[in-house]
Amino acid sequence: MSAASVWKTSLQGVIAALAVVAATTPAAAEPVAIVDARILSVGKAGDIPRGVVVFDRGRIVAVGANVPVPAGARVIDGRGRTVTPGFIASETGLGLTEINSVTQTDDTRSSSADLSAAFDVARGLNPASAAIPVARLGGVAHAVATPRYDDRNLNRQRPFAGQAAFISLDGGVDHIQPHIAMTLDLGESGAARMGGARGAEFDLLDAQFDEVKLYAENRAAYNRGALRRLTLSASDLEALVPVVRGEQLVLVNVSRASDIRQALIFAKARGLKIALTGAEEAWMVADDIAEAGVPVILNPTSNLPLSYETLGATVRNAALLHKAGVRIAFVGNDATHRVRELRYNAGIAVANGLPYQAALAAITLNPAQVLGLDGRLGSLDVGKQADIVLWSGDPLEPLSQAEVMFIGGVEQDLGTSRPMQLRDKYLTHQRQR
């Protein structure tokens, strides 16, 4: 058995073990009903000015204006408050980075010359990261932990950063879904890493994808050394097979309008399943993106020409894409420590023309749909996982606070994040003076 096969078998065993643990993870021991709240379901129930959400054993069992409260249920008074699904943050470093300036605490990058597409961030995730409770304060229940590039090795010409993982911010290892997406840079940064020019990168990608196809069709010959020499390592070849087959989502980071067009053409020609990220000039080619049915993950606050490929950046990007029929999802203001600002970005998008419901969907249902997880996450619908946040007011208003939060029906402690602990420490110190 090849090293790649051994690794794959081992990983499958780990995933199976995690699934068993997840199945036995305790949810609330009794039904819970949030009553008399404004409910923004982002689902079939729509918006309910004064309604009830009931969940039991980690699943939503009822949502509506006139829902009876089950006998023996824990009742939470939602009067004057708002209920939303837990938010989903795309493209983060949660669980992978602690201190940006301390490289030993950064597990987002591989510096190996032989490892790019196969780099799996799920194996380095730390569910006890201090950044995770901070993100929960912003209503974030789930996140995509995404690899980044290591550009210190100038001889490392590899186009892919690695494999992203989907994580629950419940502080445990029970709900980690590895290989949720592959990551790829195009545009300026991609060209700098692969061939030195945009056209060269696409030519080299074509050659590598042809290699992967050859490998997939001739594994036995490859394993016995009877296949011609391939430029990619065995682990990268294996990791790219589902990409080439159009089975795995590829997060394509690209900014310039012309680069976006080329990405769409390349994806169509190769039969790839992609989502655009960054996409500062996407509004210029919104109709092309909509026609291709490709979603866009963006920061709606990006409005400065920080490089030649973002000269067209505008805060109206999200609104214009939505108007054209593009599914959009949002990111926070950095990969790790400001993920909680995801809702602020949604609010800024509303202030710049995006309908309120579209902004809320961009941090709940839309990212779930992009990742293929909308059957169980992203909205307050019967049968879905009970990821629920009770807010003191409008969730897109910065002064509102998450007062109660459930992930998978389990209540989360919102008082033990590092910022809250420091607040309490120094408030106590002040009182003692």
Long-range Cβ pairs for the range 367-372 (8 Å, 24+): 367/88, 367/89, 367/90, 367/144, 367/297, 367/329, 368/88, 369/295, 369/327, 370/90, 370/249, 370/275, 370/295, 370/297, 370/327, 370/329, 371/144, 371/166, 371/180, 371/181, 371/249, 372/249
| Nearest by Cα to 106 from 142, 143, 131, 137 | 131
pLDDT for position 417: 78
Domains of the chain with bracketed CATH: 31-86+378-433 (2.30.40.10), 87-375 (3.20.20.140)
Q: How is residue 122 written in tokens?
A: 């799920």
* Separation CA 26–CA 142 (nearest Å): 18
Buried b (16+ CB within 10 A) or exposed e, 263-289: bbebbeebebbbbbbbbbbbbbbbebb
Q: What's the distance, CA 224 to chain centroid?
A: 39
Please state, in angstroms and as integers, the Cα–Cα distance from residue 387 to each residue in 18, 34, 289, following that order.
20, 13, 31
Give the whole-angstrom CA distance, residue 23 versus residue 329: 29
CA-based diameter of the chain, in Å?
78
Q: Please tell me the predicted confidence (pLDDT) of residue 154.
A: 55
Q: Strand 410-411 and strand 402-407: pairing?
A: antiparallel
Q: What is the per-residue pLDDT for 99? A: 86
Q: Does residue 318 contact residue 298 with C-beta atoms inside 8 Å?
A: yes
**CA nearest neighbour of 89 among 143, 169, 145, 164:** 143
Instruction: Give the separation between CA 401 and CA 404, rounded to whole angstroms.
Output: 9
Q: Are 324 and 286 in contact (CB under 8 A)?
A: yes
pLDDT at 177: 93
Per-residue pLDDT of the chain (433 residues; tens, 9 = 90+): 444 443 344 444 433 333 333 433 455 578 999 999 999 999 999 999 999 999 999 999 999 998 999 999 999 999 999 999 999 999 999 999 998 888 888 899 888 878 899 999 999 999 999 999 999 999 999 999 999 988 776 565 678 999 999 999 997 656 789 999 999 999 998 998 888 899 999 999 999 999 999 999 999 999 999 999 999 999 999 999 999 999 999 999 999 999 999 999 999 999 999 999 999 999 999 999 999 999 999 999 999 998 999 999 999 999 999 999 999 999 998 889 999 999 999 999 999 999 999 999 999 999 999 999 999 999 999 999 999 999 999 999 999 999 999 999 999 999 887 777 778 788 876 666 6
Say what the pLDDT of residue 174 is: 60
Helix, strand, coil content of the chain in percent (nearest 5): 35, 25, 40
For residue 418, the model assigns a pLDDT of: 76
pLDDT of residue 153: 60
Q: How far apart are CA 83 and CA 104, in angstroms?
A: 39
125 token code pair: 């995730």
pTM over 0.85: yes
Task: Quote the pLDDT of residue 173.
Answer: 57
**Three-class SS of residue 284?**
helix
Strands (E), 71-195: 74-77, 82-85, 87-92, 140-145, 160-168, 176-185
What does the DSSP assignment read for 180-224? EEEEEE-HHHHHHHTTSSHHHHHHHHHHHHHHHHHHHH-HHHHHT
162: phi > 0 → left, psi -120 to 50 → alpha, else beta; which?
Answer: left
